[in-house]
Amino acid sequence: MTHVARISQRVSLEPFLKWAGGKRWFAERCVHLVPERFERFVEPFLGSGAMFFALQPARAILSDLNADLIGCYRTMRDAPEAIALRLADYQALHNKEHYYRVRGAKPHDPVERAVWFLYLNRTCWNGLYRVNRKNEFNVPIGTKSTVVLASDDFLATATALKPAEIAHCDFEETLDRASRDDFVFVDPPYTVKHNLNGFLKYNDKIFSWADQVRLRDAVARAAKRGAKVLITNANHVSIRELYEGLGRREVVSRASILAASSVHRVPTEELVIRTWLRSA
Ligand SMILES: C[S@@+](CC[C@H](N)C(=O)[O-])C[C@H]1O[C@@H](n2cnc3c(N)ncnc32)[C@H](O)[C@@H]1O
C-alpha distance across the termini of the chain, in Å: 12
Please tell me the distance from the alpha carbon of residue 48 to that of residue 52, in angstroms, as a whole number: 9
- Domain count of the chain? 2
List the CATH number of the domain containing 130: 1.10.1020.10
Among protein residues, the one with the nearest Cα to ligand 1's atom 12 is 45
Check residue 236 and give its pLDDT.
85
Check residue 194 and give its pLDDT.
53
Split at pLDDT 50, 70, 90, the class of 174 is very high
| Cβ neighbours for 147, distance < 8 A, ≥ 6 positions apart | 87, 90, 91, 94, 119, 122, 123
Lowest mean pLDDT among 25-34, 68-77, 197-206, 271-280: 197-206
The torsion angles phi and psi of 124, rounded to 5 degrees, stand at -80, 175
Same domain as 230, residue 178: yes
Q: pLDDT by residue (tens digit) across 34-51?
A: 998 999 999 999 999 999
**How much is the mean pLDDT over the chain?**
88
Same domain as 270, residue 179: yes
% of the chain exceeding 90 in pLDDT: 70
Same domain as 55, residue 145: no
Among protein residues, the one with the nearest Cα to ligand 1's atom 18 is 170
Q: pLDDT by residue (tens digit) across 230-266?
A: 999 988 888 999 999 999 999 998 765 444 444 444 5
Same domain as 176, residue 148: no
Check residue 218 and give its pLDDT.
98
Instruction: Give residue 97 CA to ligand 1 midpoint distance, Å.
Output: 30
Q: At what angle do helices 96-104 and 110-123 cross, to 10 degrees?
A: 130
Q: Is the CB of 127 under 6 A from ligand 1?
A: no
- Residue range of the domain that includes 8: 3-65+169-274
**280 belongs to a structural domain:** no
- Mean pLDDT, rounded, for 69-83: 98
Among 125, 160, 195, where does a domain finish?
160
Please tell me the distance from the alpha carbon of residue 230 to that of residue 122, in angstroms, as a whole number: 29
| Length of the chain measured in residues | 280
Check residue 208 and give its pLDDT.
85
Q: Is the CB of 190 under 6 A from ligand 1?
A: no
- Report the nearest atom of ligand 1 relative to the CA of 190: 1
Instruction: Give residue 121 CA to ligand 1 midpoint distance, Å.
Output: 15
**pTM of the complete model:** 0.91
Check residue 268 and give its pLDDT.
72
Under 8 Å between Cβ of 47 and 73:
no
Q: Is the CB of 14 under 6 A from ligand 1?
A: no
| Cβ neighbours for 230, distance < 8 A, ≥ 6 positions apart | 33, 34, 183, 184, 185, 186, 272, 273, 274, 275
Among protein residues, the one with the nearest Cα to ligand 1's atom 17 is 65
Q: Is the CB of 47 under 6 A from ligand 1?
A: yes
Under 8 Å between Cβ of 207 and 228:
no
Among 113, 140, 160, where does a domain finish?
160
Instruction: Give residue 130 CA to ligand 1 midpoint distance, Å.
Output: 13
Among protein residues, the one with the nearest Cα to ligand 1's atom 5 is 47
Q: pLDDT by residue (tens digit) across 190-203?
A: 877 554 444 454 43
Q: pLDDT by residue (tens digit) across 78-134?
A: 999 999 999 999 999 999 999 999 999 989 999 999 999 999 999 999 999 988 888
